[in-house]
A = this chain, B = another copy of it.
Amino acid sequence: MDVHGHLPLAPRDLLILAVLAERPSHGYGLIKAVEERSESGVLLDPANLYRVLRRMRELGWIEEAGDDEGRRRVHRITDRGHALVSAELARLERLLGQARPALAQGRSG
């Protein structure tokens, strides 16, 4: 699982894959889900989202799960995509573990 070489994941890639790791979704649903769960004001523009979705499909991070009612194309995360999110989350956890204490302490020094 050649997950390295793609890390670190772009923030929006991670958000998209994180949502898809929870449940398969279609493009519009992803826009809404990402908007909701990131209070920080992270937005997905459709122009970008569908491009990213195609790129992820080509990279084998996600796959089409057939269509829901004929109108919505549902995207599902693959094992490779899942491994990628896991690796990125692990990386971020290590980063947070290092940066959090340094941030608190660095201010007084």
Contacts and interface: CB of A to CB of B under 8 A. Distances in A.
A100 B90 CA distance: 9
A65 interface: no
How many copies the complex holds: the figure is 2
Nearest to A5: B41
A8 B103 contact: no
Given A103-B85, A103-B86, A91 B10 contact: no
Contact of A7 (B4, B18, B40): B40
Contacts of A87: 40
A56 interface: no
Given A18-B99, A102-B18, A91 B8 contact: no
Q: Which 10 A-B pairs have the closest CB atoms?
A: A8-B11, A22-B102, A18-B99, A40-B91, A7-B40, A21-B106, A22-B106, A21-B103, A4-B41, A92-B92
Interface of A: 4-5, 7-12, 14-15, 18, 21-23, 37-42, 77, 82, 85-87, 89, 91-96, 98-100, 102-103, 106-107, 109
